Structure 1
């Protein structure tokens, strides 16, 4: 049995390492990062592959006939052709739930950076400024209280639910738009609405759904025209959910007050992206999932996924 790790950078911060995987499959080759054209040659005759954002599609599978299992070191499977993997008899396992608390926490880190600018005030104060005597170059935004504001959540999986709990703790009203309203949600103290109502009533709208054919480009010019004027938009889910040009237009027109994002349509975000130059866009480089605690869960579940598959069962198989 032979394994290939195509993107080892995902789990090599400090104390985390791949020893658990390598103990299960001693014949393991590891690469820090892998470009698309390198994927098939590097997999070669391997039986197992572990990856994060590398694409596995019909073209790759046709060149790697020995491949039997793909472990994606993430929750989302946007980069994998799951149907092609199924046709080729390749099981795909993901890692659900490892980053729930970290991503929900980052969602509010972005929101609080917009509402109260603690980091910007910190830099200004350490440079000798105080209260009203702070130059415009620090990009301070008006202070804003969250109490009694309406917090909209699109997508009500584990991260959406945790984000809603935090919003309620701040005293916010919570609206949720989700594909399926389950009976157990009745105790959550949130109001379930359609997408147009969500857009029209939300002071803050936070995206927490996967990128699917139904949700790609969800936030486009048409949706933004329906949004409550001055809404804050947060995206810690998938860049593909948002038309970034339409968001930039809405930020410049004032239809959107602020955009806080940790995920982008193209990553890294291109240098010429308009979002980089807008003071009312608060951006982080897709790192919400990288707390030490989340990465440890990621490593533990990835290793367990591999072990259980080798034992003949297999956990978290997403393509049947």
Structure 2
């Protein structure tokens, strides 16, 4: 099989792709690939590996040798699945490779906001502790998470790991029903009730037509004034301008985001312009532990090996 990896740069060089290369007679890697370069670079390859490069109907129709697409992510929104089915092209993604990693990042954002650790760290580096007239610094408020309520939106491996970690800290957990649902299933609470009751809300659902703008002005107004909003899911789940306004007016206590509506985040994104002390933004890095990335490569290699023997 001939294969090509279109956006190898989404993995650092320290992550080896030898498990993939060893299965292929001809294997090429490109750091990044633009839409204009995609067809040419796929060429007569049987296999294409992509993380975020779009493989749409025109690409599929132009690349007649293509038999297998491996996505080095869980989401398949960059692949035209209908066109792939029509062309008898198999599509494989990677699932459950980073539940512990993303949950760890979720908890890190939650803990930083709750403890204001990032602000205390900055003050120490600026010499404020050295010049303090008492033994400590305690001018930023600290929220004790034990006994507080965490509202979880979404289900799956990541959500389960976050629940496990939160309960380890002594938090109570509420599982949210879908927004707008007519009936509340056993073990869940209505979406609006979850927002009003929770001290921390964490989003772990996919971005779909029904979840786009899941959290906007109305939902933010339902939350407690000290509540924290954590989003390690997808940027489009939250109206970013409404969030900034809620943070400025202190309708909620803080937010930690690892995602943005457009990525890489644009300079004119409201989250970037605001520069708020109660907002932490990380660069969609929650997934990217060394262990998780190595698992992804191993899973892609396994998909290829299975395809070759089928």
- Regarding TM over 0.5, the answer is yes
| Unaligned segments of structure 2, at least 5 residues | 179-184
- Cα distance, 1:10 vs structure 2: 2.6
**Residues 47, 69 of structure 1: 8 Å contact kept:** yes
* SS of corresponding position for 2:70: strand
Match of 2:268 in 1: 272
Query: Which of the numbers 297, 301, 304 marks the counterpart of 1:303?
Result: 301
**Residues 156, 178 of structure 1: 8 Å contact kept:** no
- Cα distance, 1:50 vs structure 2: 0.3
Q: 1:166 to 1:132 in 2, by over 3 A?
A: farther
Q: Name whichever of 120-129 and 44-53 sits farther off.
A: 120-129
**Residues 115, 141 of structure 1: 8 Å contact kept:** no
- Cα distance, 1:141 vs structure 2: 4.2
Match of 2:108 in 1: 109
Q: 1:200 & 1:81 partners in 2: Cα distance?
A: 39
* SS of corresponding position for 1:36: coil
**Residues 103, 289 of structure 1: 8 Å contact kept:** yes
State yes or no: 1:243 paired with 2:239. yes
**Residues 114, 141 of structure 1: 8 Å contact kept:** no
**Residues 4, 42 of structure 1: 8 Å contact kept:** yes
- Cα distance, 1:5 vs structure 2: 0.4
* SS of corresponding position for 2:146: coil
Match of 1:98 in 2: 97
* SS of corresponding position for 2:36: helix
- Cα distance, 1:112 vs structure 2: 1.1
Q: 1:159 & 1:256 partners in 2: Cα distance?
A: 24
- Cα distance, 1:37 vs structure 2: 2.1
State yes or no: 1:202 paired with 2:201. no
Number of residue equivalences: 298
Match of 1:28 in 2: 27
**Residues 211, 238 of structure 1: 8 Å contact kept:** yes
Q: 1:123 to 1:257 in 2, by over 3 A?
A: closer
Match of 2:2 in 1: 2
Q: 2:224 & 2:203 partners in 1: Cα distance?
A: 16
Q: 1:163 to 1:132 in 2, by over 3 A?
A: farther
**Residues 153, 160 of structure 1: 8 Å contact kept:** yes
Q: 1:88 to 1:217 in 2, by over 3 A?
A: farther
Q: Name whichever of 28-37 and 153-162 sits farther off.
A: 28-37
- Cα distance, 1:256 vs structure 2: 2.1
TM-score, normalising length: structure 1: 0.87
Q: Deviations over 1:99-147 (max 9, x none)?
A: 100100000111111111334323422443229949xxx9x74211101
Q: RMSD of the TM alignment (CA)?
A: 2.2
- Cα distance, 1:40 vs structure 2: 1.8
Q: 1:59 to 1:226 in 2, by over 3 A?
A: farther
TM-score, normalising length: structure 2: 0.90
Q: 1:212 & 1:264 partners in 2: Cα distance?
A: 15
Match of 1:316 in 2: none
* SS of corresponding position for 1:111: helix
